[in-house]
Amino acid sequence: MAYDAATQRDAPLSDAALSQLFTEARTRNAWSDRPVAPDLLRKLYDLTKFGPTAVNASPARFVFVTSPEAKARLIPLMSEGNRAKTQQAPVNLIIAQDIDFHEHLDALFPHAPGAKAWFADEAGRRESAFRNASLQGGYLTIAARALGLDVGPMSGFDAAAVKAEFFPDSNVEPNYILNLGYGTEENLFPRSPRLSFEQAAQIL
């Protein structure tokens, strides 16, 4: 049977797949010692990069912290409550945004040769970089779950110190940190409630 791209694109994922990505997926606080292969991290990025961003700017920058030496640089910069689980996770991912993302627009958005000039204002670039890098972090979470990985995003860290340690002499700024690997049930909180459709959404 010939592959019908349109039909495949319109077909919903199975309930099992949706469960893995959303309804049964959990934020992990404890981790097994099972390593995450570098090739899998590359595959994770290669899926994430296809998520849409404004003018294809792709401002997110990703630092996969895996070695003991790199972890030793990061752990002291985490808030006290996040240090133990960050140490335990096989991968700590610093998700950052490049405020100078517009320097790549000639290559990333070639059908609009003047796109770089749209972002001459640094304050506007910072807002766009933060919004779209956060969006890319969301894509990465779903991609990680699709690849069988667990995630544990965190905002408790010294952002200025992380920038100085990992992004010196650049206009790249940390957004948040995400632990990555194969989670365990230890320290897993009961699932918290969510807002209903009526509380959070409307159809106009």
* pLDDT tens digits, one per residue of 124-168: 999 999 999 999 999 999 999 999 999 999 999 999 999 999 999
**Which fold, 25-184?**
NADH Oxidase (3.40.109)
Contact predicate 109/56, CB 8 Å: yes
pLDDT given at position 10: 85
pTM: 0.94
38-48 vs 122-146: helix crossing angle, rounded to 10: 120
Q: Can you spell out the DSSP letters for 179-190?
A: EEE-B-STTPPP
Host H or E run for residue 159: helix 159-166
Where in the chain are the domains? Answer: 25-184
Q: Phi and psi for 77 in degrees, rounded to 5?
A: -90, -5
